[in-house]
Amino acid sequence: MAILSESAHVSKDEINNNLNDQQMDRLFMEKFGSRINSNGEIRLPDPSMAGVYEIQVLMPSNESILYTVDLRQGRLVRGQLPSKNCDCRIQVSANDLLRLLNGQLDFAQGFLQGKLRLGYGNQASAFKFMHLLIDIASSTSTTSSTTTPNNPNLKYQDDDKVSMIPTDGLKSDVIFSIIQYRLSSEPELVKKMPFIIEINLTRNGHLIATWVLDTKTEGGRIYRSHSKNNGSTNSDNKIKPDAVITIDDNDLAAIMLGNSNPQRVFISGRMKIRGNIMLLQRLNQFWAKIQATRRGSDFRFVKQLLTDNQFESGLASEMVFFNWISRLVKPSSELVDCTIHVIITAKGEKQTEWVISYDSNNQLSIKRRRIVGPDDHSNHANQSRSIMLEMDDQDFCRLVQSSDVILIQAIEEQRVRVTGDHRLLSAVSKLFDRIADNEQTPAVNLKAKL
């Protein structure tokens, strides 16, 4: 037994199918060690998860390495713990483990395909444990380094995360990301509505992406696959659905937001259903249940923005902004009667403007507009308590989604340009502070993207 304690970054070149034992040890330490060897620092989403878990990794050399994670005492070791009974053992190849950590393989699909095997224990416990491990890997991928312009490791890690955000401008991506989060945080939502529905999203008649909603699997799961160049989607990991729905993104969003009648959309031929047609009604009931149990004040802003806007392809910020709303609804008193303009650029050109306003009662309103041409200017300069932040699309995503990237530092590095009332800067910077808030719109979860 060896306690993994030396932190060493695994370079991009080492993340391949030829990992040796030492590199796998370093990978485990980098991804999990600082959080698990923490004397109980980890906050478990479910107290029943406090147990001993083993991961048996099959290496390219056909040898296997056993790692033990003790969530009771906060320990990660190579080998077995003495005098400790294992609650659950998972077997996985080194290559599939890397795909899991890089978001290229959904762990639930991995179990179904036999790429992850349960050697011992309860499958529900294994699902919860793997979900926790992937969350830890995601949250610690930026903490091993300091965010500076001279640190390529952190930039590479952040760019990996940003590159996985859907940039198709689909409204349904926002809706399904909300459902995805709710299934992970409240699995009891799926118990009374078992179904597997595949939804093919189109734009102008062309297939863009496919979402699969599976409430039959214990705890429920949802994942997205992107369209290939030939119009098909990645299908290697699909399971047989009860119904397949093909529909334009705008039509589906209108139905889900209550702005359109699904029967009329179906009768008009704008929606095609193969399989059990009654499952569309069940999907609507499921979505209504999620909205009814939603405990955040941010959903009305989500609905308003999705209803009033068409979103731009190629901009990750169009998705990530919906995560930021959960922080905007809880402002400090310093932001009373002020307006924040966020200008998003791409390739050096202004693309969109988000206008966040707080009135004299600190009530929030949000508007979005597309910027057309270099002479399209906002009137923020005429407002007394107003501040404008101009930044690149990817920098906005890093500020919202990374706990290690802060606004003041981005300004100092000239990645964010600020004009207007600089006295508001301190309060505005707090809006970008990443906080753990399970009751609000989630960060866009892309680990299940195939």
Structure confidence at residue 67 as a pLDDT band (50, 70, 90): confident
Q: Residue 69: what pLDDT?
A: 86
Q: Which residues of 426-441 are buried (b: 16+ CB within 10 A; e: fewer)?
A: ebbbebbebeeeeebb
By the 8 A CB rule, do 436 and 154 touch?
A: no
**What's the rounded mean pLDDT across residues 400-423?**
86
Q: Is the pLDDT of residue 237 over 60?
A: no
> What is the DSSP code string of 214-276?
E-SSTT-EEEEEEBPTTS-B--TT----SEEEEEEHHHHHHHHTTSS-HHHHHHTTSEEEEE-
Q: Is the pLDDT of residue 440 over 50?
A: no
Residues 6+ apart with CB under 8 A from 324: 400, 431, 432
Q: What percent of the chain has pLDDT over 70?
A: 73
For the chain, domain boundaries? 2-140, 171-292, 314-431
Q: Residue 377: what pLDDT?
A: 61
DSSP three-state, residue 9: coil
**What's the rounded mean pLDDT across residues 369-375?**
80
Neighbouring CB atoms inside 10 A of 392's CB total 18
Structure confidence at residue 84 as a pLDDT band (50, 70, 90): low
Q: Among the listed ranges 109-113, 311-315, 429-433, which one has the minimum average pLDDT value?
A: 109-113
Q: Residue 235: what pLDDT?
A: 44
The CATH superfamily label for domain 171-292 reads SCP2 sterol-binding domain (3.30.1050.10)
Q: Is the pLDDT of residue 395 over 60?
A: yes
Which residue, 98, 72, 93, 91, is CA-closest to 83?
72
Structure confidence at residue 367 as a pLDDT band (50, 70, 90): very high
Q: Is the pLDDT of residue 326 over 90?
A: no
Q: Is the pLDDT of residue 15 over 50?
A: no
Which residue, 448, 415, 437, 446, is CA-closest to 185?
437
First and final CA of the chain: distance in angstroms? 35
Residue with tokens 């997205």: 224
Most confident of 41-45, 235-239, 336-340: 336-340
**What's the rounded mean pLDDT across residues 399-420?**
85
**What's the rounded mean pLDDT across residues 379-400?**
84
Report the predicted TM-score, pTM, of the whole model to 2 decimal places: 0.61
Q: Residue 178: what pLDDT?
A: 80
pLDDT tens for 30-46 read 677 656 655 445 567 67
The CATH superfamily label for domain 2-140 reads SCP2 sterol-binding domain (3.30.1050.10)
Residue 11 per-residue DSSP state: P
Whole-angstrom distance, CA of residue 161 vs CA of residue 224: 16
Residues 6+ apart with CB under 8 A from 49: 71, 125, 128, 129, 132
Q: Is the pLDDT of residue 375 over 80?
A: no
By the 8 A CB rule, do 265 and 247 touch?
A: yes
Whole-angstrom distance, CA of residue 238 vs CA of residue 112: 10
**What's the rounded mean pLDDT across residues 307-317?**
91
314-431 shares the fold of 171-292: yes
**Angle, helix 317-328 to helix 171-185, in steps of 10 degrees:** 50
The CATH superfamily label for domain 314-431 reads SCP2 sterol-binding domain (3.30.1050.10)
Sign of the C-alpha dihedral computed for residues 110, 111, 116 and 121 taken in this order: positive
Structure confidence at residue 446 as a pLDDT band (50, 70, 90): very low
Please state, in angstroms and as integers, the Cα–Cα distance from residue 382 to each residue in 212, 246, 351, 427, following that order.
Answer: 48, 47, 21, 21
Q: Residue 144: what pLDDT?
A: 41
Q: Is the pLDDT of residue 147 over 60?
A: no
- Write down the mean pLDDT value for the chain: 77
DSSP three-state, residue 445: coil
Which residue, 128, 72, 123, 65, is CA-closest to 94?
65
Tokens of 60: 């390219």
Q: Residue 382: what pLDDT?
A: 54
pLDDT tens for 165-208 read 888 899 999 988 888 777 766 767 777 778 899 999 999 999 99
**What's the rounded mean pLDDT across residues 128-134?**
82
Q: Residue 33: what pLDDT?
A: 65
Q: What percent of the chain has pLDDT over 90?
A: 27
Q: Residue 103: what pLDDT?
A: 75
